[in-house]
Amino acid sequence: MTLNRDTVVNLAILALLVATAIGAHVLGNGFTVTLATKAAIFGLAGVGLNLALGYGGLISFGHAAFFGIGGYVTGILASHAAAGTPVATLPFTVMGSNEMLGIWPMAMLAAGLAALVIGALSLRTWGVYFIMVTLAFAQMLYYFAISWPRYGGEDGLSFYVRNSFPGLNTFAPIQYFAICTTLLAVALVFTAVVTQSRFGLALQAARQNSQRTVALGIRPYAIRLTAFVLSGMIVGLAGSLYADLNRFVSPAMLSWHMSGEIMVFVILGGVGRLCGPVAGAALFILLEHVLGGVSDYWQALLGLLLLAIVLFAPGGLIGILTQRRRHA
């Protein structure tokens, strides 16, 4: 990899995030470490969405479904592990778990399966219909979670002990930050590799000119569905981490509001830019805590900022920092 301007900006963003957390840790400011962790997790969710939205042009307004599924899988497994009861006994016994290494694959698998079903159906539509269909699926899950009393219904599900990771103390904010940031880095490398591969070439081609892509013997549907599933799995992992951060999951993780927020991370940071969603999520959290302290109307200011970015800097933060348009 050559150290071009994009790479420098990407590394600088990650370095800033890590430096913030370490600095706060040294100063004994655990709250700020947790904020940085939240930024890493939201950034991970944004990186996941970016694969579908930015690279694939799939404007999903339903990615909260995968975020929430990842969260609920984590909460359900953890609460059963705490109670010592099996999650299911038929068709085979599934025990709870409080091991992150066991929970993450389950969360990603569940989110990936959901993405396969939702994607297979919604990718038959396009444009505004696609947006509505993905939204509808996520809302279905949201209402299902609300009306399912077994795992807390409307009130959500608390689990009192953060899940564990071998050799680490996940309660120490800086250690949990390290876990989340490492996974974020893995997801970034994964995205970089995949988007530069043959598959990534086809995905980005189908976004720009689907008719041409078909004329070259490539079917966009299968390509897009694959990207949608990978995207859902990454977002599911982010949901799992978020559940563990709060030791709590609730239907809010599945709501359209959450879908919108993940989309905001991507747009703020730069659609289709590798580290865009990380920058976007960090900025979002910064604004939430700086402006949120000044005025309850910070969301209105956020709206203005979004408007300004969309109108004047469609490349987002990364676009401003790298001073150039996106090339595939």
Residues that bind other proteins (CB under 8 A): 193-194, 196-202, 204-205, 208-209, 211-219, 222-223, 226, 326-328
From the CB of 47, what's the least distance to other proteins, in Å? 16
Q: How near is the Cβ of 66 to other proteins at its closest, in Å?
A: 20
- Enter the tokens of residue 264: 């905001």
Answer whether 235's CB lies under 8 Å from 254's CB.
no
Nearer to other proteins, 150 or 198 (CB): 198
| Residue 134 · residue 239 · CB < 8 Å | no
**Whole-number Cα distances in Å, 56 to 20, 103, 194:** 32, 28, 12
Cis peptide bond upstream of 149, omega within 30: no
CB-wise, 62 or 119, nearer to other proteins? 119
The distance of closest approach from Cβ of residue 306 to other proteins in the complex, given in angstroms and rounded to an integer, is: 24
For other proteins, the closer CB: 18 or 201: 201
Closer residue to other proteins (CB): 49 or 223: 223
Shortest distance (Å) from residue 202 CB to other proteins = 5
Residues 63/115, Cβ–Cβ less than 8 Å? no
DSSP string over 28-39 = T-HHHHHHHHHH
Closer to other proteins by Cβ: residue 120 or 328? 328
Pick the closer one to other proteins by CB: 4 or 169: 4
> What's the min distance (Å) between Cβ of 326 and other proteins?
7
- Largest interatomic CA distance in the chain: 60
Residue of 61, 63, 51, 62 lying closest to 199 (CA atoms) = 51
Cα separation, 60 vs 281, whole angstroms? 18
Closest distance to other proteins from the beta carbon of 254 (Å): 29
Cα–Cα dist 171/178, whole Å: 12
SS3 314: coil
